[in-house]
Amino acid sequence: MKPTIRLPDLKDSGRRAYRLHVTDHDPIRVRIGDTPVQLKDLSSTGLAFTCDIPLTDTLVPACLAFRIDKRLITLKCQLHLVRKVGQVWCADLEDLTPGEHKLLSAFITWCQTQAIRRDQ
């Protein structure tokens, strides 16, 4: 008899995508307008960050610039600010095409691969 395997629902964790905890090794920069933010973590659907500017709107324009190997990618989008916990803002990414979401997922996978190689 085959064992029953149960995969957890994504709703169990409250997350819809894998979340990468960003380090100094990860080649990504995020800006809100002209102001750089300190990225804490990132997924293909959202991010968490801190910044020095006061944010009062629920939608803010953002630019994500990252590198996969030697390929430089810049994505312009809107951040939908969901909540603030202490000094950390949590936001959903909006106005990205399915192709841009795939690029972001590819970047996250690339970062994981690089981290594994560094640890060996």
pLDDT tens, position by position, 93-115 = 999 999 999 999 999 999 999 88
Domains of the chain: 18-119 (2.40.10.220)
pTM of whole model > 0.95? no
Contacts 24+ apart (CB under 8 A), 59-64: 59/94, 60/32, 60/33, 60/91, 61/32, 61/33, 62/30, 62/31, 62/32, 63/30, 63/31, 64/28, 64/29, 64/30, 64/104
5-34: pLDDT as tens digits: 665 554 444 456 678 899 988 999 999 988
Q: Which of 41, 60, 33 is nearest to 112 (CA)?
A: 41
